[in-house]
Structures are given as C-alpha cells and as structure tokens.
Amino acid sequence: MSNTDRAIGKDKDGNGIVYEDLMNLYTLFVDFFRVKTYDRRKEVIVFMNTQDCILTRRSVRKFTNEPVAPETVEQVVSLAAFAPSWKNTQVSRYLAVIEPEDRAQICQYVPDYNARIIDQCSVLLAQTFVKSRSGYERDGSFSTDRGPGWQYYDCGIAAQTLCLAAHDMGLGTVIMGVFDRPALERFLNIPADQELMALIALGYPDETPPAPRRKDVQTLLSFKRGQSTI
Ligand SMILES: Cc1cc2nc3c(=O)[nH]c(=O)nc-3n(C[C@H](O)[C@H](O)[C@H](O)COP(=O)(O)O)c2cc1C
C-alpha cells in the first residue's frame, strides 16, 4: 500500500501525509515544549492530557546522567499503584536498583542491547509480582481457564501505567523482558513468594525516538453485527 493510499491528509503538493508522519511531528512538538518546561520545571506547571501522554510515550534507551531522586521514584510507583488488577489484588512490586555497581552486575545477566540501557539509566526497576494471588481463588485453585496468566496481565497494566506516569513527569522508561530470570532473581534476592516479571529502566531522556509504526485500527478492531464480523 502506498503512502498516498494510507494518507489521512495531503500536503500542498498533493502528497499524502500518513498517520506516522503526523505522530512524529506531534511528538517533536510536544517534546519541544516539554524540554523547555522541564528546564524550568520548578516554576512552570506542565499540562499534558492523557492522549498526549499515550501518543508521545516512547521506549527510551538513552538517558542523561541527571539522577532521578528517590522521591520521584516513589511518586512514579504511587501512580502505578492506581492500575487496575484482578480483584484489586495489586500483586506488582518494584525493587529500585540505584547503585551503578549493582547495575553493572545486572548487566551480566542480560543481552548486550539491554546492558547498554541498564549501564546508563539512573534507576533500574525490577518489577516482580506476588505469586498465586491474581487469578486464584482463596483455596489456591485457579479462578478461570487462564490459569496463572492474570498475574502477568496485571503486571503489564501496572508497567504501562508506570511508564505513562513517568513520561508525564518528564522521565523516560523502557520495559525489558529479555534476561536470565533465575540468575537475576538470585542476585536481587527476590523473595520466594515473588517472581521477577520485567526490568524497567528509568531516567531523564537523552533522545526522542520516533514512534515505531502502529497497526491501523481496521486491523485491530472488528465489530460483530448479528451473525457477521466486520
Ligand atoms: C513485554 C515487553 C518486553 C520488552 N523487552 C524489551 C527489551 O528486552 N529490550 C528493549 O530494548 N525493548 C524492549 N521492549 C520495548 C519494545 O521494543 C517497544 O515497546 C516497542 O518497540 C514499541 O516502541 P515504543 O515503546 O517506543 O512505542 C519491550 C516491551 C515490552 C512491552
């Protein structure tokens, strides 16, 4: 499909402007003002609406060396606590790794492309979950045929809530799912009743990545009307 076919607008020469072009322009626009307000963030209140926040959040893999204050990490996590969860079980937990020496050790247990991120972020959050609660009945049986799957689902919602909250506060994040889980659980002393879910790098962004292409809504959404699905 050509760009013109996918166009949602035309420029003055009649060329198609596709959704991704507009998204990237929008990201640059918002980021321009964000950077200005970020420099003077004590004096200026930044308003970002929910759609701005969703559209302009990116996985950030380059960070400045400005430290993220512990109170800021607390605020991000306190916002993530408002994520919905199975029967409000709130199983997601976060272990903040702030010492560069600890982060350097963690790099042994991740592929190089994630080690490069962990090496320069300010804080590495190890997201864990309390086992056998989300998706379970009190007697330990599964509530649904998803088995233990809802605990992963809850972690995903919590992680995205955290990333959006961080973005709203001028911070960058990237979720990392590729690591040697047993080795990291040992290194991080994750309690036996918890499991490591993901690593989330946190820091002040030193890049504004373009939005990777998204599937269009026609691919994502169908409507069931009577017997047919359109
Ligand atoms: C469950 C999960 C695991 C991911 N693992 C990694 C990873 O190991 N390393 C990495 O650089 N990015 C990782 N990502 C980030 C994705 O590559 C990124 O979200 C995707 O390309 C879309 O880009 P965006 O977040 O900027 O919109 C992961 C994202 C998710 C949700």
Chain segment 24-33, per-residue pLDDT in tens: 676 666 666 5
Q: Higher pLDDT residue, 48 or 112?
A: 112
Tens digits of residue pLDDT in 205-222:
999 999 999 999 999 999
Q: Is the CB of 103 under 6 A from ligand 1?
A: no
Average pLDDT of the chain is 88
Domains of the chain: 1-56 (no CATH), 60-213 (3.40.109.10)
Q: How many CB atoms lie within 10 A of CB 90?
A: 18
Distance 176 CA to ligand 1 centre (A): 6
Residues 6+ apart with CB under 8 A from 26: 55, 56
Which pLDDT score is estimated for 40?
36
Q: Is the CB of 174 under 6 A from ligand 1?
A: yes
Angle between helices 70-80 and 149-168 (to 10 degrees): 130
Which pLDDT score is estimated for 89?
97
Distance 60 CA to ligand 1 centre (A): 9
Ligand 1 atom closest to the CA of 58, numbered from 1: 26
Of all protein residues, the one whose alpha carbon is nearest to atom 6 of ligand 1 is: 176
Segment 10-35 mean pLDDT: 61
Which pLDDT score is estimated for 19?
57
Q: Is the CB of 72 under 6 A from ligand 1?
A: no
Distance 59 CA to ligand 1 centre (A): 6
Q: Indicate the pTM of the whole model.
A: 0.84
Which pLDDT score is estimated for 29?
67
User: Candidates 55, 154, 162, 174: which one to mutate for ligand 1, based on the most atoms within 8 Å of Cβ?
Assistant: 174
Which pLDDT score is estimated for 219?
97
Which pLDDT score is estimated for 42?
44
Segment 36-49 mean pLDDT: 52
Q: Is the CB of 128 under 6 A from ligand 1?
A: no
For residue 2, the one-letter residue type is S
Q: Burial letters for 136-162: b for 16+ Cβ neighbours within 10 Å, e otherwise?
A: beeeeeeeeeeeeebbeebbbebbbbb
Q: Is the CB of 111 under 6 A from ligand 1?
A: no
Distance 74 CA to ligand 1 centre (A): 23
Which pLDDT score is estimated for 48?
83
Which pLDDT score is estimated for 66?
97
Tens digits of residue pLDDT in 55-97:
999 999 999 999 999 999 999 999 999 999 999 999 999 999 9
Q: What percent of the chain has pLDDT over 90?
A: 78
| 41 has a pLDDT exceeding 60 | no
Residue with tokens 């599964």: 142
